[in-house]
Chain A
Amino acid sequence: MTTRKLTGLLFASPWIVSFLVFWLFPLLYSLVLGFTDYRLMSSSYHWVGFDNFIALFSDATFMSSLVHTFVFVLGTIPVTTVVALALALLVERQFPGRTLFRSGFFMPSITSMIVIALVFTNLYSRGGYIYLLAEMLGISPPENGFLLSNSTALLSIMAMDIWMSVGYYMLLFLAGLKSIPKELYEAAEVAGAGSWRKFRSITLPLLKPVALFILVINTIKSFQVFVEIFVMTKGKYGTSTAVFFIYETGLNKFEFGYASAAAYVLFLIIAIFSLAQFRLFRQRSIW
């Protein structure tokens, strides 16, 4: 048995080494800083215990950034997941042009987030194509463009995020769908099950592992949304998110201890959500 344990350790060593060399120090460093009043550029700092954490909860800016983050997460994840699944189902079976559609749907995921954000900044602005489309459809957009209005700025960024992510998650769902043995569907057909029944009783349950993987990864990423905000609105018009707050506080205002504390608060929130997702799906294996 010991040789097995040793082999296991050996196989796991790439991550162990990588973690110990590159990631352990940054994680501990920022955790410790969260308990200090460290400012960038300063040479001295003091231990302040939980003061940062307590201050965060009465910090209106941080709290509102958390609210915006929750809106973002809760607004995008269900939609992204459902749409990604729908797209995967649409392009699952063979039909003429399938590869074209698959590639086309995947393309938004390929481009750099920064460039996409710049493109959409233009499309959302006064006279931009999304603006014009909205006018054509009778939805009167805010006069100054979607991103310069408190009521639509965050929603617009969310819509863009959904647009960008569905292709990638569609890919994961496709892989998951492919892993369901055809025999199960054949057996169900023989037993007289219709399409919906097959979907509900075979497809959905067997997709749970992939779905859970997608949810966990998407949650972790979405809670940390930053680049879009930074490029498109710099946190104005009600779009400041948690990581944007951390960025501004830590790197602009130099309150790095405080920002680290905020980062770990966010970390806890993400961890709780992820664990909840694991429990909810009650899955030990994914895939």
Chain B
Amino acid sequence: MVRAVKYVVLIAILAIMVFPLAWMFRVSLIPPSGGLAIGDFFSPVFTLAIYTDIFTSGNMLKYFINSVIVGVIVTGGNILFCFMVGYALSRYRFVGRSFWFYSIIFVLMIPAHIIIIPLYLLVYHLGLYDTYGALILPFLVNPIGVFLVKQYIDSLPTAVEEAARIDGAGELRILFRIVMPLCRPALAVLAIQVFLTNWNSFLFPFILTSSEAVRTLPVGLALYQGHQAIDWPHLMAGSSLAVIPVLVLFLFFQRHIISGITSGAIKQ
């Protein structure tokens, strides 16, 4: 009985969570020439024409690939760098440690629209404007990621590291061979967080690049918002497709979160 109730609740919540997205997908099935009220979810008319159109006309595929390239590099870089920095802030005492920790949080607290103009100037004068570099380099160390890793490592006992140090292991070895595997859940969440933020990021790519060669998906999709009308079928189709890589990543990484902490971690 309780199980049945649980399932009813779960399904109800799932319906609420999923309906707007189902609507979004439904709109992408409208014939490209329109002629159908976009709001009409239950209409029997649908066609996949828009999906072939999206890939043949325009540059959606290129934007998609750009987003993937940038996303993978930024995520990979973040996994490495956030881990290193988080570990350093957690385990080592060095000059300015507090300052660097707070700088991470403070960077998050300034609205993007204020930062973007000086950042744009900087990127321009560094010769990075309108290049992959502008999309990647400033974002290789995500503050939230560092924060996350640092706090996670804070809670890990130092016993294993100390033992390894006594055994004569080098710092690098300890870092990558011993601590990193222990951080898998945190790094999994980090990967999802960073990829997701980067994948849907609009403002920075829009301002820091111009040409189609380096345009990312969100900017490409924004072009479907016209002057007096929104090209709903194309925009919804593009957005539906954009969901797929993140979903794949989520399904892949959530195993690591499920599997949880390795048996070594103990909380007293």
Contacts and interface: CB of A to CB of B under 8 A. Distances in A.
Interface of A: 4-12, 14-16, 18-19, 22-23, 25-27, 29-30, 87, 90-91, 99, 101-116, 118-120, 122-123, 127-129, 163, 167-168, 171-172, 174-175, 178-181, 206, 209, 213, 216-217, 220, 223-224, 226, 242-243, 246-247, 250-251, 256, 259-260, 263-264, 266-267, 270-271, 274, 284-287
Given A12-B97, A102-B254, A115-B239, 8 more contacts: A8-B92, A27-B115, A114-B222, A129-B39, A171-B189, A181-B267, A251-B113, A263-B114
A287 B18 contact: no
Contacts of B116: 26
23 contacts: A5-B92, A5-B93, A8-B93, A9-B88, A12-B92, A14-B84, A15-B85, A26-B110, A27-B115, A30-B110, A87-B13, A112-B200, A112-B202, A115-B235, A129-B23, A129-B39, A175-B188, A175-B260, A209-B151, A247-B111, A250-B113, A271-B109, A287-B155
Contacts of B196: 109-110, 168
Taking chain B's interface residues, is the majority helix, strand, or loop, or is none over half, making it mixed?
A: helix
Given A26-B119, A107-B21, A243-B113, A14 B261 contact: no
Contact of B106 (A106, A167, A256, A271): A271
A285 B151 contact: yes
A270 B105 CA distance: 10
B166 to A, nearest CB: 14
Interface residues of B, number: 94
Interface in B224-268: 225, 230, 235-236, 239, 242-243, 246-247, 250-251, 254, 257-261, 265-267
Contacts of B122: 22, 25-26
Given A12-B88, A14-B85, A179-B185, A19 B113 contact: no
Contact of A119 (B24, B87, B100): B24
B92 A172 contact: no
Contacts of A14: 80-81, 84-85, 140-141
Nearest to A101: B10
B51 interface: no
Nearest to A102: B254
Contacts of A250: 113-114
B70 to A, nearest CB: 15
Nearest to A275: B105
Contacts of B254: 99, 102, 171
A6 B9 CA distance: 55
A221 to B, nearest CB: 8
A19 B88 contact: no
Nearest to A160: B20
A167 B17 contact: yes
B72 interface: no
A118 B236 CA distance: 10
A178 B258 contact: yes
A94 to B, nearest CB: 9
B14 A25 contact: no
A9 B85 CA distance: 9
B218 A107 contact: no
Contact of B111 (A10, A18, A29, A224): A224
A228 to B, nearest CB: 13
Nearest to B18: A104
Nearest to A16: B100
B114 A171 contact: no
B38 interface: yes
